Every structure is written in C-alpha cells, then in structure tokens.
C-alpha cells in the first residue's frame, strides 16, 4: 500500500514538473524585437516620455499575452544635444539594428535622425518634435505622433480677427522649432488682413541683457499684440523679463502657442505670476475614464521611480508617447516575424559610418502598417495621414491666478465656439461673443486696442505746410518775442476736432514744413514723403489724396466731400453703341455655336426653350470663362477662340475704365479746350507747391507758359490781366481753393465741374499705421455733426452764392470706334464658319433636300423641309458614334473642362481738379471778338478735360468734392 502511494505521488510530481516545463517553454517562444528610444533623460519631457513608454508596453502585453512579439527598448540619452541624438541614432541602427526608433525629443534633433531613418528604412516615430519644417514629405519613414505647429495658426488668427487687431509681432526662438511655424503664421494672418510690422527673433541661448534689449525695442513700437513661440524654459525667462520692463501691464496682449501652453503646468509659480492675463492655444484632450485611471496610475509609478520630483503632472506629450508605443507594438505583431534582418547596401564604399549603414528588410512593412493604423488612444483619435497625427481641436485658455481658464474652443469646421458639440455650429465663426470673460494683463477686463503711441516720451510730430496764400486752410504764425509757433486754419481745426473725438488721448505737436527762415521747405509731395522717411509721424493740412502718394503713405478718409455717387456708374465705361453691339454679338455667337453644334452635340439639343437658353448661356458665360458645355465641332472651337479673345479684350478694357471711374485717386483731364490753350500758347496758372504742376507738365504744357500764384488775390490779378498782358488765361486748382476764390470774386468767375474727381483732402500717416482706421472713423463722426458745419462757416464762409447747378459732367467712355476691328474679325470668322457649316450640310444632305422638291413647292415649304432635316441628329458624327460604342459596352465617360482667368488691375496717374478762365464781355481767352468755341485735347493717358462755355453766371454749390473746375471772367 505504501509502495502504491509513493508511486502515485511520484507520478503526480512528475506531471506537475512537466506542466511547468511546458509553460516555461511556451513563454520562451516570444520573439524579442529591438526598438530604439532617444530622449533627453535629464529633461522633464524625457522622464515623462520614457515612463509612459514603459507603461504602454506593460499595459499592451498584459492585455495581449498571447502575442508572439515583445518590444525590447534600447534607450539612449541624447543629452539635449543634436550631435548626441544623431550619434545615438547611428549606434542603434548600425550596431543594435533596431526595427524602429521612438524619439528624439526636439525638432532640431529630429532633423538629422529623420535622414538616418530614411537611409536605413527604419521608421522614426516622434511624439514631441512639432516643428512645421519636419514633414513626412521629406521622408516616408518619419511619423509625427504629435500636432504639427502649423495646425494652430488658424486658431491664433481667429483670436486676432475676433478682437479686430490689425498688427501683431511674433516672438520666436532662432532655431528650426521657432522658424518652422513663421511662414504658416504669416500666411494665416495675411488671410485676415493683419500685418506683421516686425519679427522679434530671440537667440537659442540668450543672455538676460539680450532679452532685455529686444523687449525694450518692442516697448518703443506701436504694436501691442505679441505671439510667443518658443520652448518652455526660454519663455519663462521672457515673461519674467517682460514683467520687469512693464510689458505685462494694461494695453498689452500676449498669445502663447501650444508648445508652451501644453506644458504650462511645469512652470514655476513665480513665472506664472508674470504671465497673468496671457492667452494660449492648447491641444484639446477629451476627458475619459481611461485617461483618469491612467493618470492616477502614472503619478504613482512616476513617483516611485522619481521620488525627488514632487507634484508631477502628466501632459499631452506623455499621452502621445503612450499612444505611439501602443501603435508600434501593435503593428510589429501584425507585420509578423518573418524578417528582422538588415542587408548591406549595394555600391557602398565603406569610407564612412554612414555609408556602412545597412537597410532594414522589415522597414517598408512597418511603414505601410503605421500609415493604416487607427484606434482610440488616451490622447484621442489616433490616425496618421501622410505620417502626421490628425487632431486639430484646440482650447483657448486665459492664465489667471494659479491656474488657467478655458474661454473657448476652436475647430476647423466651426471656428471659435464657447462649447464643443453645441447646436449653433452651422458656420465658421470668429466672433468674440463666443469667447468667455477674459482677464487681460494688468488685471484689466477692457479689451486692449492692440496698439499704443510709442512710450519714448515724445509727442507725435505732425507736419503742416507753410504757404503765403490760401491761409484759410493752414496758417503758420511765428512769434519772435516768445519764439513760439501758432498753427491755425480749416484743416487744422478739423484735425484737432477729429483727434479729440478719438476714444483715447493722443499727444501731438505741429511741426511746420519750413526752412530756418520760415519759408516753405518744398512742395506738398516732398512734405508727404517726409512721413515715409520717418521725419513726420503724420501730416495735417490741405493734402489731396492722389494715387502716386499712396505708394508711400496711407491716407485717412477724406474730410471734404468727394462727390455724389451714381448707382449706374457701372454702365459708364462703355458707350451705348458699344453696349448694344456687344449684346448683339453675344446673341449672334450663341446662334452660331448652336448652328454648328446642333446636329452633332447632345448638349445643344432638346426642347426649343432649352436650346435657346443653352446657346445664350454658353455665349454669355464666356464673360467669366465659365462655359460648361463641351463643343465638338472644330468650326465651333475656331469661333469660340476668336470670340474668347474679343471678350478678354472687352473685359480687360471695361475693368480698367471702371476702376478709373470708381477709384479716381488722380485727376483726369476732361476740359475740352485745354488743347486750344496749348496750341495758342496761353498762360495757365496753378497754385504754388501744388501737385497740379506735374499734371500740366504731363499734358505737354510749355513750362514757360505756366505761372504760379500764392493766394486768391494774386490769382484774381493774373486772370484780370489776361494772357496777353502778363497774366493768365486760365487757372487750375482744387475745388476748395476755387471756392475761396469765388467767395471773394463771385461776380467775376464761374466754375465748371469735372466728372473725374480726386478723393478729396485727407490726413497722412505712415504705411500700416493703426491710427488710420481710428482717425477715419472719427472723421465720419465729425463731418456728420454740427462741429464740421461750424468749422466750415468759420473758415470758408457760408458760400450760398454763385452756385453752379447747371454744370454737366461727361465721362471718357470707351466707344465702338476703339473695338470695331475686333468685332469685324469675330464677325467674319463666325460668318465664315457658318457658311462652311451650312455648305457642308447642304452638300451632305442634298439627296434628301431636293428629292421632294418640285416646281409647285413653295419657298416656305422648302425651307421648312430643310429645317426638319437640320433638326435631326447626324448619326454619322464622331460624337454619336462614340456614344453608340459606349452604350454598347455599358460604359460612360464625362469630361469637364474649366477655364479661369483674372483681369489685372490698372492704375492711372492723377489729374487736376479745377480750371479757371478769365472772360472779357464778348470773348473767351482772348481780346478778339471771336465767339467761344469748344476744343478737345486728350492727355497722354487718354483722358480729357471739359470746359463749358461761359455764357452767363451760374450758381455754385455750398459743398463740393475736389474736382476740376473752370472759372470765366465776366463783366
């Protein structure tokens, strides 16, 4: 009995040992797969990333214990060095022959490692290199399990647009990480009409003095909106210094990119105190139960391995590391264990270590598998498109107190929204109503306007013209006893009133544009140019808004009227005969195309109304080159090519002419007898220093026949003398100056309005100045109120007399005379194609056409018979033969051709605004008794002046735009 017991016990023990050996052998059947990890072990992101990678592998194989493969981590410390990262990658690929590399941490390190991976066909999976300059287009073996920096620029521009800021200054680190986002950021800002007047570049390892110098430069600029893009350690120093320099006070706006905002919890409390009121763009991570459980486990495990680090916080970088590791472990198992070998390259010279790198045989399979990986990770949806993680929802946060508040979300589909998954998300929004309450720098709740007058301790230097006459606009008086200068006048009062109407105070002083002796320094053009040179911060005076000046400066809205608007001005560029001819040709071309295509093209067949609509649509759609119907006949193509050329010329000419009518930032000559002034050698007057002198020279006036006048009195004297007695026959000037002349000499002169007008008088500011928009709005408020009327009455008088209500204006419209050659070519070509087509039809169908005709058949019956034959399909045509063949093979193809074109803009030079002519009792421009006549002289730009005959005096309007006028002397 004892023997049997021992035998049974021995057998049981043998079975237990056998099962243990079997399980041990089963466990030993797993296949290790070498994977490299390159991180900065001393950096916080490196510690967190490595911890998340290890936890990801533990979690993955715990839930997939039956998998045959096991990732074996081969970790290397890059020591925060680009060369160290490259050396680590070279060692892992060449000596360890890893199948993939996770890392490195920074974009600068990844730049070279990506090239190594591409050379060895080893996937490089980075969860923290976010620079936009790194892209999978460079290498198919680079995978970014992180958001591309460029994905947030639209969210930043939406914030800028929501508050209406017009200028921003990016502040970024001078390396690949900082520079990579700038082109995308500039493009996004330009899309919302925001300028970047300056780029603040911070060195990679700056001294505190270098940061201070750059901040001081920013403080002296007008722009107060800054976008910061740099690493956390450098941004901490920047914000600390910014607070010291007073750049975190009220009126400033600071916006952080996601690189800093995602790691804001890592910043020290002293740094966060310096960042109060800062806005930030942060990657949105959905809160889930899995994420909360993992965060708790991670904190416990991380504290065990890093007991010296207290209050560790997990951020999105760690989650991306976790998801990247899960994805790699999964695809390694799916790809299989067939071939983990590396093979030597062909044609290798073995001269350097790089040339001896072998090529992974499993790399292409891993790359393909990674591109198709989809799953729900801790950081959200894991999906790699073109090697990039597709996740584009951002939170907009506001740093306040010891934490930050989420004030909005941004999505590509809906823009700024207060809450995700809200019902009102039908369209893209950039409204600040969708943002929560914001505490701005300086503990302010008022939205900063985005710019300030520079804090350099000096007032704005406002240039004013110095002139002897027309002092009603600007008068500069110098008091030698007190050595002070007083500036008064209509333009000055308007400027002062407008500046007082601004919602903020602006300190300024008037600086006369004069020589040391008090005389005018130069012309108005030169004075305006001083703003471009930076000698003046603005110009206030009777400065006319003309096109060539806008190349250097910006003008406000005019503070004088620029003329009434015509709702039918779009018809003005073309004369009536050209409109009618163009319309008839559109119909004619549509008819020709229908005749040529009707028998052979299904798109030009159908019910009569459909055929008419299609033909007209095809013809008129050539205006914007949007015709969708495919033409089949070569004759049709010939006609369409010719007609397309005609339409192109017409639309270009129409656009240019209409632009000149609408913009009119220069004067256009429209007086019909200017040519007579030139031919007869009459003397013509102009205001000294005015831009009109340049216009007269362009019109080929003899410079010796041009005389300058300084005041209305001098102009009157010259007109009274007449051209033959050392005076002038006509005077050209702006409307306000002519109004002053008529105010004093109403019984002597009259004024004829020109249709081509300048935009009036405006104030001058530097290009891109944020003051322009605010001053323009203030001008609108002032000119609509009673203050403007009081200023006008005080300086320009009531002007209730001598109003000219009968003056007529004519535009130099384009006529048929200029285009009859084009229409002739189009008409001949179309008729030729039509004749060929009809002749071919009659010849081809002659058997059917004449078979039923006899001597008793009427002409109408014969025509009707021909039309019936013409209405039938030509089944012998290539189109229907193809259709029959396609229907037979049950296939169908559709070809769409799209054409687009754009017309360039055209600019025109300025033209003068007023014309004064002295008149004797029975003569015009001379002492002879010759009755007045009208003459026409085109200027080099193809425009003319128009002058009405001075038969009797007529009244003049109280107000008027700055437009060309002629005054005639009367007795």
What's the chain's average pLDDT?
Answer: 78
What pLDDT does residue 726 have? 84
Q: Higher confidence at residue 658 or residue 60?
A: 60
Each residue of 268-326: pLDDT tens digit? 888 889 999 999 999 999 889 999 999 999 999 988 888 888 788 899 999 999 999 99
Contact present, 527 and 461 (Cβ < 8 Å):
no
pLDDT at 672: 43
**Please, which pLDDT band fits residue 348 given cuts at 50, 70 and 90?**
low
Query: Which pLDDT score, from 0 to 100, does residue 63 have?
Result: 92
Q: Are 708 and 685 in contact (CB under 8 A)?
A: yes
pLDDT given for residue 349 in this prediction? 56
Q: pLDDT at residue 70 above 80? A: yes
**Between the CA of residue 428 and those of 190, 341, 410, 425, what are the distances in Å?**
18, 51, 10, 7
Per-residue pLDDT, 874? 67
Q: Token pair of 510, please?
A: 């008037």
For residue 915, with 0-12 CB atoms within 10 Å meaning exposed, 13-18 middle and 19 or more buried, which class applies? buried
User: What is the C-alpha to C-alpha distance for residues 530 and 540, in angstroms, rounded to an integer?
Assistant: 13
Burial 135-153 (b: 16+ CB within 10 A, else e): bbeebbbbbbbbbbbbbbb
Query: 101 φ, ψ to 5°?
Result: -125, 130
Residue 577, pLDDT above cutoff 80? yes
User: In the predicted model, what is the mean pLDDT of residues 639-661?
Assistant: 81
User: What pLDDT was estimated at residue 705?
Assistant: 84
Q: Which SS3 state, helix, strand or coil, does residue 71 take?
A: strand
Q: Residue 323 corresponds to which tokens in the numbers above?
A: 């998801």
Model pLDDT, residue 89: 92
| pLDDT surpassing 90 at residue 964 | no
In the predicted structure, residue 437 carries a pLDDT above the cut 60: yes
Helix (H, G, I), strand (E, B) or coil at 146: coil
The mean per-residue pLDDT over the stretch 421-442 comes to 83
More confident residue, 292 or 608: 292
Token pair in block for residue 380: 């959200």
pLDDT at 756 over 60: no
Closest CA to 282 of 381, 379, 395: 395
> Residue 360: which of 70, 87, 98 has the closest Cα?
98
Average pLDDT rounded to a whole number, residues 630-651: 83
- Nearest CA-CA partner of 116 in 386, 464, 373, 360: 360
- In tens, the pLDDT along 801-829 reads 444 433 333 445 677 787 888 888 888 98
**CB-based contact 618:612 (threshold 8 Å):** no
Q: What is the pLDDT of residue 925?
A: 35
Sign of CA dihedral 776, 781, 785, 787: negative
Region of poorest pLDDT, from 76-85, 97-106, 222-231, 576-585: 576-585
pLDDT band of residue 237 (cuts 50, 70, 90) is very high
- Please list, in sequence order, all residues whose beta carbon lies within 8 angstroms of the beta carbon of residue 416, skipping any fewer than 6 positions away: 158, 159, 162, 396, 408, 409, 410, 429, 430, 431, 432, 434, 435
For residue 104, whether the previous peptide bond is cis, meaning omega lies within 30 degrees of 0, is yes
Range scoring the smallest mean pLDDT among 498-507, 566-575, 600-609? 566-575
Q: CB within 8 A of 345, min separation 6: which ones?
A: 355, 357, 358, 359
Q: Does residue 894 register a pLDDT over 70?
A: no
Q: What is the pLDDT of residues 180-223, one digit of tens each?
A: 999 999 999 999 989 898 999 999 989 999 999 999 999 888 88
C-alpha dihedral sign at 877, 879, 885, 890: negative
Check: CB of residue 271 under 8 Å from CB of residue 239.
Answer: yes
Q: Residue 229: what pLDDT?
A: 95
Question: String of b and e for 257-266 (b: at least 16 CB within 10 Å)?
Answer: bbbbbbbbeb
pLDDT at 331: 92
Non-local (6+) Cβ contacts of 99 within 8 A are: 33, 34, 35, 122, 123, 332, 340, 360, 362, 363, 366
Residue 876 has pLDDT above 50, yes or no: yes
Residue 586 has pLDDT above 90, yes or no: no
User: Is 576 exposed, middle or buried, given 0-12, 13-18 or 19+ CB atoms closer than 10 A?
Assistant: exposed
Looking at the DSSP assignment, which residues form a beta bridge with residue 170?
Answer: 227
In this prediction, residue 23 carries a pLDDT of 38
**How many percent of the chain have pLDDT more than 90?**
27
Sign of the torsion angle spanned by Cα atoms 936, 942, 945, 946: positive
Average pLDDT over residues 57-64: 93
Please give the pLDDT value at position 255. 96
Q: What is the pLDDT of residues 925-963, one digit of tens each?
A: 333 333 333 333 444 343 333 333 332 333 344 444 443
Q: Indicate the DSSP class of residue 265.
A: G
Instruction: Please tell me which of 581-590, 843-852, 858-867 the model is most confident about, judged by mean pLDDT.
Output: 581-590
| Residue with the two structure tokens 């200054």 | 169
pLDDT category at 51 given cuts 50, 70, 90 is: very high
Res 946: pLDDT:
34
Instruction: Tell me the average pLDDT across 834-857.
Output: 72
């Amino acid at each position: 009995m004892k023997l049997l017991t021992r035998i049974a016990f021995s057998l049981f023990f043998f079975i237990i040992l056998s099962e243990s050996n079997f399980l041990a052998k089963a466990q030993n059947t797993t296949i290790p797969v070498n994977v490299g990890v390159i991180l900065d072990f001393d950096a916080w992101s490196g510690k967190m990333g490595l911890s998340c990678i290890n936890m990801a592998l533990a979690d993955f194989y715990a839930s997939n214990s039956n998998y045959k493969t096991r990732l074996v981590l081969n970790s290397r410390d890059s020591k925060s060095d680009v060369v160290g990262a490259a050396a680590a990658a070279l060692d892992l690929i060449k000596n360890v022959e890893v199948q993939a590399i996770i890392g490195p941490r920074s974009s600068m390190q990844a730049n070279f490692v990506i090239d190594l991976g591409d050379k060895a066909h080893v996937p490089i999976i980075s969860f923290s290199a976010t620079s936009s300059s790194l892209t999978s287009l460079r290498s198919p073996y680079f995978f970014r399990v992180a958001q591309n920096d460029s994905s947030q620029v639209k969210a930043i521009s939406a914030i800028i647009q929501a508050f209406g800021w017009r200028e921003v200054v990016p502040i970024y680190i001078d390396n690949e990480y900082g520079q990579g986002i700038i082109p995308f950021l500039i493009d996004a800002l330009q899309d919302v009409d925001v300028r970047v007047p300056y780029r603040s570049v911070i060195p990679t390892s700056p001294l505190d003095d270098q940061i201070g110098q750059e901040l001081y430069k920013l403080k002296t600029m007008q722009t107060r909106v800054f976008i910061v893009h740099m690493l956390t350690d450098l941004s901490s120093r920047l914000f600390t210094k910014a607070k010291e320099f007073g750049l975190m006070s009220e009126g400033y706006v600071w916006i952080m990119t996601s690189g800093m905002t995602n790691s804001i919890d890592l910043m020290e409390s002293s740094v966060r105190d310096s960042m109060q009121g800062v806005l930030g763009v942060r990657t949105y991570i959905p809160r889930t139960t899995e994420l909360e459980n993992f965060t708790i486990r991670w904190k416990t495990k991380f504290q065990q391995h890093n007991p010296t680090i207290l209050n560790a916080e997990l951020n999105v970088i760690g989650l991306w590391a976790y998801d990247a590791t899960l994805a790699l472990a999964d695809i390694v198992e799916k790809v299989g264990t067939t071939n983990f070998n590396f093979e030597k390259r062909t044609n290798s010279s073995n001269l350097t270590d790089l040339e001896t790198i072998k090529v992974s045989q499993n790399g292409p399979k891993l790359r393909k598998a990674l591109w198709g990986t989809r799953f729900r990770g801790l950081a959200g949806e894991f999906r790699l498109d073109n090697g990039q993680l597709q996740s584009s929802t951002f939170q907009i946060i506001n740093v306040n107190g010891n934490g930050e508040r989420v004030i909005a979300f941004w999505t590509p589909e809906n823009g700024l929204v207060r809450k995700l998954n809200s019902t009102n998300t039908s369209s893209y929004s950039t409204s600040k109503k969708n943002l929560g309450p914001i505490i701005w720098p300086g503990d302010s709740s008022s939205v900063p306007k985005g710019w300030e007058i520079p804090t350099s301790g000096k007032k704005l230097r406002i240039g004013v013209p110095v002139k002897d006459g027309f002092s009603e606009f600007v008068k500069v008086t110098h008091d030698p006893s007190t050595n002070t200068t007083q500036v008064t006048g209509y333009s000055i009062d308007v400027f002062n009133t407008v500046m007082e109407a601004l919602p903020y105070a602006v300190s300024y002083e008037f600086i006369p544009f004069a020589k040391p002796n008090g005389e005018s320094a130069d012309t108005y053009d030169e004075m305006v140019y001083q703003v471009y040179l930076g000698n003046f911060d603005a110009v206030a005076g009777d400065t006319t808004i003309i096109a060539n000046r806008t190349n250097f400066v910006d003008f406000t809205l005019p503070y004088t009227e620029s003329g009434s608007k015509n709702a039918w001005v779009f018809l003005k560029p073309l004369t009536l005969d050209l409109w009618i001819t163009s319309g008839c040709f559109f119909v004619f071309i549509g008819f020709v195309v229908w005749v040529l295509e009707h028998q052979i093209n299904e798109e030009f067949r159908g019910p009569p109304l459909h055929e008419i609509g299609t033909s007209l649509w095809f013809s008129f759609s050539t205006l914007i080159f949007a015709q969708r119907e495919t033409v089949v006949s070569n004759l049709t193509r010939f006609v369409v090519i010719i007609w397309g050329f005609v339409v192109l010329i017409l639309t270009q000419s129409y656009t240019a002419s209409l632009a000149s009518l609408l913009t009119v930032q220069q004067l256009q000559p429209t007086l019909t007898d200017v040519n007579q002034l030139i031919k007869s050698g009459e003397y013509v007057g102009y205001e000294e220093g005015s831009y009109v002198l340049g216009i007269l020279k362009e019109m080929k006036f003899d410079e010796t026949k041009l005389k300058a006048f300084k005041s209305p009195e001098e102009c009157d004297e010259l007109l009274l003398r007449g051209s033959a007695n050392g005076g002038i026959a006509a005077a050209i000037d702006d409307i306000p100056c002519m109004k002053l002349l008529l105010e004093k000499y109403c019984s002597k002169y009259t004024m004829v309005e020109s249709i081509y007008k300048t935009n009036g008088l405006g104030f001058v500011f530097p290009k891109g100045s944020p003051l322009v928009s605010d001053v323009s709005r203030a001008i609108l408020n002032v000119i609509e109120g009673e203050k403007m009327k009081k200023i006008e009455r005080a300086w320009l008088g009531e002007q209730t007399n001598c109003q000219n209500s009968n003056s007529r204006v004519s535009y130099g419209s384009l006529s048929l005379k200029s285009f009859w050659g084009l229409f002739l070519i189009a008409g001949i070509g179309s008729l030729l194609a039509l004749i060929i087509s009809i002749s071919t039809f009659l010849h081809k169908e002659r058997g059917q056409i004449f078979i039923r005709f006899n001597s008793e058949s009427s002409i109408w019956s014969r025509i009707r018979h021909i039309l019936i034959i013409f209405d039938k399909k030509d089944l012998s045509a290539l189109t229907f033969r193809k259709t029959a063949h396609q229907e037979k093979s049950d296939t169908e193809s559709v070809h769409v051709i799209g054409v687009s074109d754009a017309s360039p803009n055209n600019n025109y030079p300025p033209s003068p605004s007023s014309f004064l002519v002295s008149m004797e009792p029975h003569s015009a421009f001379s002492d002879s008794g010759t009755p007045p006549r009208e003459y026409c002289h085109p200027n080099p730009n193809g425009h003319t002046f128009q002058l009405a005959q001075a038969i009797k005096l007529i009244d003049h309007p109280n107000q008027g735009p700055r437009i060309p006028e002629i005054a005639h002397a009367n007795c």
